[in-house]
């Protein structure tokens, strides 16, 4: 049964859930638990799928089109961002048929550079915001951070949740922050970074996922890439299950983005298999699934050449940016 | 929306080193049996894989005599530390030939390669490793200061885990100083005969292990032979009863591991997504050809609809087909006869008014296949709730209180295994004490380990295999 959405975008059932701190807590703690052994076993089991030939090539192209090409360094410069943008537009200059990356992901002050470099390309510009990566600042700063990114033309905002608030059980505060940032985003898509490496348990990952979805996040994202462990397969399973459950109860499609630590084509394909079999085939699109990565793209390009040419080439045949 | 079809990813069947003919293994030699040869068939294609010579009554006699000689002259007297070396060698050689054994197992049995590769063969090797470790430590196993072997063990094994069951039977027998006459199942003799090759290459003294392919009559001859001191059987309850009658009063030691109709009990506070995985693993693992399969799902009424919805969605993603394809989740039913039995029981379920749901997955044109099926609205009185189906068919019943769950779970003449799904540790312990089942899994299902004893209650048999207590069956205590 899908209840009609209310003005706030939530079905009446979920509008009740988010009414106050205690109903939110009751709801999140009432979600079925996640069994650690079971979810890790399932992730390992699906990880043995063998993807070959045409299905592999399709997976590689799909993965390329899902990459949020990321640079989030203190040392980032205009030049670095420009070269990354060029890479996102044309990942393999020798082969124009290679799909474009989904987006370039940068710090807010470099959004303008990226927007200019990507104008007319169809590649999105994502900006991290809300005192990324720790999220330890005042709400005023977080809103200003978001507004800076959006004003500079970011089409997507990757916010971090306040893990301190989450872990001390102040779910209402986390919810309000996400909702406020969502409002500040305007038309830009909001990705909610849970930083699962700091949440520690799968039960927490599931609760944080629902919190992100209830508060209006378009995507839920595993990590900043600054904390270890970053994305893992079992964590992504739990999040994929959450968007699937969200769809089953509201009819809405929301996305998932694992970020950090995904470096090889083999890894990427394992994630796509999980998307395919846990969430469902309709999530196999850059609209609903992204990889937050930097080195992954080059491995995908090398594997793509291997598939088509029948032999390995080497890292000198792809561009290093 | 695009669809992503996985390209076929078949394992190379040449790896199986399939030979046109296989012979029985007696007294350290591969010899032509004098029984009627049998043809073993690939259940996924119905093609004949190989011709296998079978044993006659006189071959059985020869094998038992060879085993007796080997026991009295060499193996029974050998120090445990020396026996251990041979058993370790077998364990290592199984691991070295793992890929060959896995492909051969999938060809002969029909089980998906991912299971033979990731479960059957590694576990078979693990059983030899585990028991090799016991060989020189039997004095510390709790059966007296110097427990002696029983003598000659006659062993008859089923077709659902051909190599693994051979390992379960042979490893403890050898470690304890017994010699073995083993009959593999009629439809799946090949991996046991490769195991015989390994035994030969491991240089075991002749007669310590004898493998005699054949049908039920060969099994009967092994079991009834007066030279056999201990009988171990895994298979159907009906045959188990025949064996028990046949050897009553002979003084032979007996262990039976028979059928089951296990309850998998899901409470409303269970981790539902993982419970769904456990249910799937419980009943669709090895096409449901598992004596301890979780074939009766007991789910608390308050979460029944939600769970069933998730379960059907999950079962729809199971890939049924070519067992050698690395992406196959559910392989072929082992024989036409078994397929008929499953089809009959499913028809009875429909006739008795249970609601049938079957996965819409495509099935191959050739071979013996059955799509994963879930019956809901099942009551205890229906045949599908009481009889062992031994196929990919799940019966779903509901309960309201923990007491009702226990009563329904125990309401079966069987008692091999059970599963409990709840986040509440105290309830797991309470249930495990109440359930009449030899194996109780908590928040998991169908997990096997050589250190964990396995065996049943009531019509599921008696005696334990694996772990310290499993040694008792092969020691004169």
The tokens describing B211, both together, are 């493998």
**pLDDT at position A320:** 86
Say how far apart CA A43 and CA A238 lie, in whole Å: 10
pLDDT above 90: percentage of residues in chain B: 99
Whole-number pLDDT of residue B303: 97
Q: Is the dihedral of CA A19, A22, A28, A31 positive or negative?
A: negative
pLDDT score recorded for residue A9: 57
**How far is A66 from chain B, CA to nearest CA, in Å?**
14
Q: Which two tokens stand for residue A272?
A: 């796509």
For chain B, where do the domains classified as CATH 3.40.309.10 start and end? 263-442
Chain A touched by B443 (CB under 8 Å): yes
d(CA A255, CA B150): 63
Contacts 24+ apart (CB under 8 A), A306-309: A307/A56, A307/A57, A307/A60, A308/A57
List pLDDT tens digits, range B453-471: 999 999 999 999 999 999 9
Q: Is A100 a catalytic residue?
A: no
> What is the rounded average pLDDT of the residues B84-97?
98
8 Å CB contact between B454 and B446 = no
| CB neighbourhood size of A7 (10 A) | 6
Residues of chain A with pLDDT under 70: 1-10
Greatest alpha-carbon span in chain B: 72
Q: For chain B, what is the mean pLDDT?
A: 97
Q: What pTM value is reported for the model?
A: 0.95
Residues of B in contact with A248 (CB under 8 A): 309
A117-145 per-position pLDDT tens digit: 999 999 999 999 999 999 999 999 999 99
Residue A58 to residue B272, Cβ atoms within 8 A: no
> Could you read off the pLDDT of A166-213 as tens digits, one per residue?
999 999 999 999 999 999 999 999 999 999 999 999 999 999 999 999
* Alpha carbons A118 and A87: distance in angstroms, whole number: 10
* Mutation choice for B interface testing from A38, A244, A271 by most B CBs within 10 A: A38
Lay out the sheet containing B461-462: strands in order across. B29-31, B24-26, B209-211, B179-183, B152-156, B230-234, B253-257, B461-462
ipTM for the complex? 0.94
Q: Are B161 and B53 in contact (CB under 8 A)?
A: no
Average pLDDT over residues B218-244: 98
Q: Which domains, ranges and CATH numbers included, belong to chain A?
A: 12-309 (3.20.20.70)
> According to CATH, where is 3.40.605.10 located in chain B?
13-258+457-474
The pLDDT assigned to B96 comes to 98
Pairing of strands B439-442, B417-421: parallel
What integer pLDDT is reported at residue A136 of this predicted model? 97
DSSP state of A310: S
Give the CATH fold of the B263-442 domain.
Aldehyde Dehydrogenase; Chain A, domain 2 (3.40.309)
Task: Determine the pLDDT at residue A5.
Answer: 41
CATH code for the structural domain at B13-258+457-474: 3.40.605.10
Interface test with B, best of A31, A40, A50 (most B CBs within 10 A): A50
Give A41's contacts in chain B (Cβ within 8 Å): 277, 444
Residue A8 phi, psi (nearest 5): -75, 0
């Amino acid at each position: 049964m899908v209840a009609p959405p209310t003005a706030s975008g939530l079905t009446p059932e979920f509008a009740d859930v988010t009414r106050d701190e205690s109903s939110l807590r009751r709801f999140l703690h009432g979600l079925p638990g996640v069994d650690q052994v079971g979810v890790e076993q399932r992730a390992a089991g699906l990880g043995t799928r063998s993807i070959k030939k045409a299905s592999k090539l399709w997976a590689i192209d799909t993965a390329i089109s899902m990459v949020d090409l990321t640079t989030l360094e203190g040392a980032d410069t205009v030049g670095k961002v420009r070269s990354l943008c060029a890479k996102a537009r044309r990942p393999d200059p020798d082969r124009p048929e290679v799909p474009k990356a989904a987006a370039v992901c940068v710090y807010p002050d470099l959004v303008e550079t990226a927007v200019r470099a990507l104008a007319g390309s169809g590649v999105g510009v994502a900006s991290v915001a809300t005192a990324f990566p720790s999220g330890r600042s005042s709400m005023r700063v977080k809103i200003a951070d978001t507004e800076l990114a959006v004003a500079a033309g970011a089409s997507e905002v990757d916010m971090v949740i306040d893990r301190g608030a989450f872990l001390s059980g102040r779910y209402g505060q986390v919810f309000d922050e996400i909702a406020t940032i969502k409002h500040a985003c305007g038309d830009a898509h909001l990705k909610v970074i849970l930083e699962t490496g700091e949440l520690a348990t799968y039960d927490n990952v599931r609760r944080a996922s629902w919190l992100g979805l209830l508060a209006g996040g378009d995507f839920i994202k595993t990590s900043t890439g600054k904390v270890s462990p970053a994305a893992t397969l079992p964590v992504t399973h739990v999040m994929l299950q959450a968007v699937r459950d969200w769809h089953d109860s509201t009819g809405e499609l929301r996305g998932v983005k694992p970020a950090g630590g995904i470096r090889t084509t083999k890894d990427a394909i394992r994630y796509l298999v999980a998307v395919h079999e846990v969430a469902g085939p309709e999530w196999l699109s850059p609209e609903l699934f992204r990889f937050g990565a930097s080195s992954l793209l080059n491995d995908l390009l090398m594997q793509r050449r291997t598939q088509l040419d029948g032999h390995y080439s080497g890292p000198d045949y792809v561009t290093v940016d | 929306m695009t669809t992503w079809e996985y390209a076929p990813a078949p394992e190379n069947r040449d790896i199986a080193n399939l030979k046109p003919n296989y012979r029985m293994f007696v007294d350290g030699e591969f010899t032509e049996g004098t029984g009627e040869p049998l043809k073993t068939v690939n259940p996924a294609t119905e093609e004949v894989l190989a011709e296998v010579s079978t044993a006659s009554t006189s071959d059985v006699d020869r094998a038992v005599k060879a085993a007796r000689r080997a026991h009295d002259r060499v193996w029974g007297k050998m120090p445990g530390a020396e026996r251990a070396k041979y058993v370790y060698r077998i364990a290592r050689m199984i691991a070295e030939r793992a890929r060959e054994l896995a492909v051969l197992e999938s060809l002969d049995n029909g089980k998906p390669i991912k299971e033979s590769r990731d479960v059957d063969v590694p576990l078979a090797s693990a059983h030899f490793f585990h028991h090799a470790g016991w060989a020189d430590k039997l004095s510390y196993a709790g059966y007296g200061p110097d427990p002696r072997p029983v003598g000659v063990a006659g062993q008859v094994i089923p077709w659902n885990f051909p190599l693994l069951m051979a390992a379960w039977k042979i490893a403890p027998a050898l470690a304890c100083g017994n010699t073995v006459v083993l009959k593999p199942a009629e439809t799946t003799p090949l991996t046991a005969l490769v195991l015989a090759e390994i035994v030969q290459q491991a240089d075991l003294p002749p007669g310590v292990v004898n493998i005699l392919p054949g049908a039920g009559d060969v099994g009967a001859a092994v079991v009834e032979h007066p030279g056999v001191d201990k009988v171990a059987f895994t298979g159907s309850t009906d045959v188990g009863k025949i064996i028990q009658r046949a050897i009553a009063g002979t003084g032979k030691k007996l262990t039976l591991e028979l059928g089951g109709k296990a309850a998998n009990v899901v409470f409303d506070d269970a981790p539902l997504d993982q419970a769904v995985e456990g249910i799937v693993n419980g009943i669709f693992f090895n096409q449901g050809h598992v004596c301890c399969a979780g074939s009766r799902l007991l789910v608390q009424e308050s979460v029944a609809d939600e769970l069933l919805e998730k379960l059907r969605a999950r079962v729809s993603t199971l890939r049924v087909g070519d067992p050698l394809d690395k992406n196959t989740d559910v392989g072929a039913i082992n024989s036409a006869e078994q397929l008929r039995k499953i089809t009959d029981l499913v028809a009875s379920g429909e006739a008795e008014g249970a609601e049938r749901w079957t996965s819409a997955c495509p099935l191959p044109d050739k071979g013996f296949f059955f799509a994963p099926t879930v019956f809901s609205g099942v009551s205890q009185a229906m045949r599908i709730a009481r009889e062992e189906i031994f196929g990919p068919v799940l019966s779903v019943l509901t309960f309201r209180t923990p007491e009702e769950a226990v009563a329904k779970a125990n309401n079966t003449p069987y008692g091999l295994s059970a599963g409990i799904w709840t986040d509440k540790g105290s309830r797991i312990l309470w249930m495990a004490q109440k359930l009449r089942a030899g194996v109780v899994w908590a928040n998991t299902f169908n997990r096997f380990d050589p250190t964990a004893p396995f065996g049943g209650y009531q019509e599921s048999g008696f005696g334990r295999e694996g772990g310290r207590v499993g040694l008792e069956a092969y020691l004169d205590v």
